[in-house]
Amino acid sequence: MSDPRTRRDWRLAAALVLVGVATVIVLVEPFPQGAVLVSLTRTHGVDAGDLPAVGLYLLAGVLALWPA
């Protein structure tokens, strides 16, 4: 079995990559916007096209916080 510290380092690296990919998805918006889920202002909000990025952020958080 591998060293717990090595596994933790790999999980943190994977979490950073997922955060980067999710941020690119939010900035580039490759998915159709769809229905507005949360309206923050008149021109900004969270729509259905942002859900894949939200999922990646949640997965990154789980990977980063998972006990060794």
pLDDT in tens, 43-61: 888 888 888 999 999 999 9
The tally of CA atoms less than 13 A away on the side-chain side of residue 63 is 18
Q: What is the pLDDT of residue 1?
A: 54
Total domains, the chain: 1
Q: Note down the domain range covering 23.
A: 4-65
Residue 14 parent element (H or E): helix 4-28
The identity of residue 68, as a single letter, is: A
Q: What is the pLDDT of residue 37?
A: 85
